[in-house]
């Protein structure tokens, strides 16, 4: 017997199709960013399918937020490491010409 309910990946594909006009209306430079949002949602489709939420946009938005939080944390770690490296560099003594 086959499945009676569409998978979340099927639902996600249908959502992406419904947003197609919006995507086409975006500036070309913004379209890859829009596409990345759905990529984030697909990366968490297994968890979203288990949730079986009444509104499929809810797990899509949480998946996007989760991936963006992951990126924020990675960037924050890089900033912290760079700041620590800068703090470790000794100050150069001022030359007489700088006074």
**CA-based nearest residue to 59, from 72, 68, 47:** 47
pTM for the model: 0.78
**CA-based nearest residue to 37, from 10, 68, 6, 13:** 68
d(CA 67, CA 54): 22
Phi and psi of 45, rounded to 5°? Answer: -65, -35
pLDDT tens, position by position, for the chain (99 residues)?
565 778 999 999 999 999 999 999 999 999 999 999 999 999 999 999 898 889 999 999 999 999 999 999 999 999 999 999 998 888 777 666 665
The CA dihedral of 83, 89, 90, 94, to the nearest 10 degrees, is: -80
């Amino acid at each position: 017997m086959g499945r009676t309910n569409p998978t979340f990946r099927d639902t996600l594909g249908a959502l992406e199709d419904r947003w197609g006009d919006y995507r086409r209306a975006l500036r070309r430079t913004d379209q890859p960013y829009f596409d990345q949002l759905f990529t984030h949602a697909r990366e968490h489709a297994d968890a979203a399918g288990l949730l079986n939420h009444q509104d499929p946009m809810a797990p899509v938005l949480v998946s996007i937020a989760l991936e963006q939080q992951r990126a924020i944390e990675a960037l924050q770690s890089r900033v912290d490491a760079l700041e620590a490296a800068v703090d470790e560099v000794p100050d150069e003594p001022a030359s007489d010409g700088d006074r």
